Amino acid sequence: MSHAPGVSYAASLQSIRTARERIAPHVHVTPILTSRTLDQRAGRELFFKGECFQRVGAFKVRGAMNAVLSLSGVDAERGVVTHSSGNHAQALALAAKTRGIAAHVVMPETAPRVKRAAVEGYGARVVTCAPTLPAREETANRVAQETGAVLIPPFDHPDVISGQGTLALEILEQVPELDAIVMPLGGGGMLSGVAIAGKALKPSLRIIGVEPSGADEAARSRKAGERIALPAPKSVADGLLAGIGELTWPPVRDLADDVLVVDDDAILGAMRLVWERMKIVIEPSAATPVAALLERPELFGARRVAVVLSGGNVDLDALPF
């Protein structure tokens, strides 16, 4: 799909380059990993972007750090608030700590214990709520009103999208001759930023998002030609249960070459394979693009494919295997 004429997105190549400079002292340039076993199974060359080794164990620190460091002095003093089941919560808590400001994080009661402990470890105040998106949003808005804190949502924010887009700049420097980037798709912040930067730098680059079948909002929305909300998304990939945002929908609609859907069994199988063969801990959300490459290799014309391993925050007490 090409950039629709007259459509302007929430981020640009310039805002993503600026974000990279801003966050550089505070985030890691993560490694590219390879696996001959996975190359053989997928029938192509795979380059795994190890965001599981990023600070807070996930790519989310890129967007959160950019958003917090972009705040004016006056706004920063008010503190920040967000709602998140985990990785963005940790990322925002770390970013606030880095800037020396207060952070309030609304988390569903069902959030993995390990994620809540990490958020509190970074010094943020956790406020729990019922495990539904409306409850999360209502609670975050209430906390914002009570405290005066600035709301920084998990993905639907220009500075967050620009921060996540820094992934594309790194990947294309690390693997210049690339045909495609495949990544998990939840709220769409990563796909938006990566697609905006990736297509600007290399128009032939294919951008592919992968969703769990129980949370396939983007695939349904693209089919319908409008943003559709799923009432109760469900998947083992707890990081991908958010719906597509108002700001992330246009890039997901216009710039993604494909959105694929995989079921939970395939996700867990891919996660286990990565643990076994690559000896790295990834969370189920990060295994979704691997599952798609193993399950449906015929859909990928691309020979050299970057795969974003988005995070490695697993509740070790609740392992599925």
Tell me whether residue 60 is one of the annotated catalytic residues: yes
* Helix H or strand E encompassing 66: helix 60-70
Among candidate residues 70, 84, 85, 310, the one labeled active-site is 85
Among candidate residues 60, 84, 199, 310, the one labeled active-site is 60
Label residues 280-300 b or e (16+ Cβ within 10 Å = b): bbbbbbbbbbbbbbbbeeeeb
CB 134 within 8 A of CB 106: no
Which of 85, 134, 74 has its CA nearest to residue 107? 85
Q: Tokens standing for 10?
A: 């929430």
- Distance separating alpha carbons of residues 21 and 264, to the nearest angstrom: 37
Q: Tokens standing for 106?
A: 């609304």
Q: What is the DSSP pairing of strand 180-184 with strand 206-212? A: parallel
User: What distances in angstroms separate CA 252 from CA 82, 208, 210, 249, one per listed residue?
Assistant: 23, 10, 11, 5
- Please give the single-letter amino acid code of residue 113: R
Looking at the annotation, which residues are catalytic? 60, 85
